[in-house]
A and B are shown apart, each in its own frame.
Chain A
Amino acid sequence: MKATLSRRALLRSGFATGVSAAAGAALAQDGPDPLITETQDWAIYTGDPVDATPYGLPIRFEADVIRRNVPWLTADPISSINFTPIHALDGTITPQGCAFERHHSGAIELAKEDYRLMINGLVDTPLVFTYEDLERFPRENHVYFCECAANTGMEWAGAQLNGVQFTHGMIHNMEYTGVSLRTLLNEAGLGAAGDLSDKWVYVEGADASSNGRSIPMEKALDDVLVAFKANGEALRKEHGYPVRLVVPGWEGNMWVKWLRRIEVTDAAVQSREETSKYTDVLADGTARKWTWVMDAKSVITSPSPQQPITHGNGPLVITGLAWSGHGKITRVDISKDGGMTWETARLGRQGDTKALTRFYLDTEWNGEPWLLQSRAMDETGYVQPTKDELREVRGENSVYHNNCIQTWAIAPDGKAENVEVS
């Protein structure tokens, strides 16, 4: 077995098992704490001036809260994926600097002054917008999750990667500012498209891969955003600067970055990214296409393999994330015995539609082995299935859309492992 915990997690678990099961309490019993009784440097000398860091990064003690990749997953790191450190985050908003990336021909650099957006096809007037034009349309703000269709995809055939960052980290959740796609389509005029019920929009990026995808007009006119800000600031280069598509609840591949063209068509283009890729092979060899929605899903982020229990017995916060492409999360249940019995967790706050929702279970652990699971429910009444239930319907080769219930085995020493259970 290879070392699979981060260096920091290993140090922590060593501390917990080797030095003391309850370090804080032991220090207090041995005598006064010098961190309190002795004046510390930071209480004597000054800290950094306000002009030291015009744009800051996290403090160095958080250096392991970073994107990681799994080199063997792809042939090269350009058409590839990395993973959000969801094991270490809390709340729901993903810091942009460690939010996952997925490119097909790398993260390109596209300046606002070089940016052009074209709308053409079955429109009254084909248009070209500059970036400046886009900022003059009425704006909206919404928080949505972007989950790669392949998130948890390596887990179809078994328990593979030992860390929630790797099993569930192809996801981020941001507050977007942008213009509704409906507004831009209306600007070009949809009269020429006639009956809209069977029309599509084809969207593509400015990068070499283009990442073209077809979206039915009903969705295009519903809640799709042409976004230029995320979490208050401009999009990061690797997330589509200066403009990306936001397609609430739908698979991340359709969230076209560096968006350059929107074409109204009378048929789906059936591009590479909706035929060869992002189609889901079933057990009998046929494949589902146009599996756009990401179904209700959840995962416990702590404890988890990268976040073992290091504090010994007593109070424990179990926490994690739940989300659904169909709407709001209404409930998350947690099992400690591999799904035999369940108790209902507490939502950090009421879930937003098609956005990450934080849950907590304030509980107690006294060294007993657990098989921890979480199970999300959304406002449509859908209940997150087990992996066996999914495999019963789809087999093991769907690649995409694995929203199964995840199990972490908690050992008496507090370590957590990615497992499957009967």
Chain B
Amino acid sequence: ARTGGFGLGREAHPEELAAWDVDVLPDGRGLPVGSGDVWTGDEVFSEKCASCHGDFAEGRDAWPVLAGGFDTLDDRDPVKTVGSYWPYLSTVWDYVHRSMPFGNAGTLTDDEVYAITAYILYSNNLVEDDFTLSNENFTEVEMYNTDGFIVDDRPAVEYTMWSGEPCMENCKDGPVEITRRSTEVGVTPADDGSMAESFMEEQLARLGGT
């Protein structure tokens, strides 16, 4: 029965809800029945994913790296992958199922997504090569960086520090000097699209693609 005030819209059909409500939560809610093993995943990955992400999920060109980078998060150039950074396996299943392959999203079967997920885990040395992932053992898989996240603490850490009447006169101890110049970097696109290539490659490596 409608409890809303305007009587607009109509009740959603179960088939419609099933078609669109496919998100998967960290506790595994939303997972369909199914399974896939590492070797099947290797085959599917090779066929549908490796042209961008590499045969071993290591990434090609500027496309995202999915494996490796463990213990680099406090480095100058962290490598943030499914293995080194992602906190939940549910996100891998959900995102691959919903939005990959890039340009042909939503075309993988549930079992293919289980298999690809198993292969990505294997590529990150998080499971053995005989591992089979299913809706039943899904939440038993431990991710490397699950505890690596804190909820936004800017109010406590930053807002108290950067508030109040600011300095207006004699605000710095020494003379003010230029320490960095963008023109020495040379990466701004000119009208002809040119830019310094060496720096471009370094930045691509830093950003790790899209």
Contacts and interface: CB of A to CB of B under 8 A. Distances in A.
B47 interface: no
Nearest to B147: A286
Contact of A129 (B2, B8, B87, B186): B8
A242 to B, nearest CB: 16
Interface in A255-296: 260-261, 263, 265, 267, 269-272, 275-276, 279, 281, 283-293, 295
Contacts of A292: 152
Contacts of B20: 118, 120, 260-261
B74 A74 contact: no
B189 to A, nearest CB: 6
Interface string B1-27: 111111011111000110011011111
B167 A342 contact: yes
B11 A126 contact: yes
A27 interface: no
Contact of B181 (A159, A163, A187, A212): A159
Nearest to B196: A2
A417 B182 contact: yes
B96 to A, nearest CB: 9
B168 interface: yes
A285 B78 contact: yes
Nearest to B27: A267
A342 B74 contact: no
Contacts of B33: none
Contact of A287 (B73, B177, B204): B73
B21 A261 contact: yes
A422 B148 contact: no
Given A105-B102, A105-B105, A393-B158, A269 B25 contact: yes
B8 A133 contact: yes
Contact of B171 (A186, A260, A284, A342): A342
A383 B166 contact: yes
A128 B166 contact: no
B203 interface: yes
A127 B166 CA distance: 51
Contact of A371 (B90, B148, B178, B204): B178
Contacts of B151: 288-290
Contacts of A161: 182, 187-188
Interface string B73-106: 1101110101001111011001100110011011
A75 interface: yes
Interface in B164-196: 164, 166-172, 174-196
A208 B99 contact: yes
Contacts of A210: 98-99
A381 B12 contact: no
Nearest to B13: A128
Contacts of B204: 72
B182 A288 contact: no
Interface in B152-170: 152-154, 157-159, 162-164, 166-170
Contacts of B141: none
Given A125-B11, A270-B91, A281 B210 contact: no
Given A124-B3, A287-B73, A383 B162 contact: yes
Contacts of B190: 2-4
Contacts of B167: 342
B23 to A, nearest CB: 5
A371 B87 contact: no
B56 interface: no
Q: Which of A76, A104, A105, A375 has the most CB of B within 10 A?
A: A76
A125 B187 CA distance: 53
A60 interface: no
A75 B63 contact: yes
Interface in A288-311: 288-293, 295, 305
Given A75-B210, A163-B188, A202-B23, A333 B171 contact: no
Contact of B12 (A74, A128, A375): A128
A191 B3 contact: yes
Contacts of A397: 76-78
Nearest to B12: A126
Given A72-B204, A136-B8, A382 B210 contact: no
Contact of A418 (B105, B179, B182): B182
Contacts of B182: 4, 158-162, 305, 417-419
Contacts of B74: 283-285
Q: Which of B25, B82, B195 has the most CB of A within 10 A?
A: B25
Given A73-B207, A161-B188, A2 B195 contact: yes
A409 interface: yes
Given A75-B209, A79-B102, A125-B1, 5 more contacts: A2-B186, A3-B190, A3-B191, A136-B8, A272-B91
Interface of B: 1-6, 8-12, 16-17, 20-21, 23-27, 61-64, 73-74, 76-78, 80, 82, 85-88, 90-91, 94-95, 98-99, 102-103, 105-106, 148-154, 157-159, 162-164, 166-172, 174-196, 200, 203-204, 206-207, 209-210
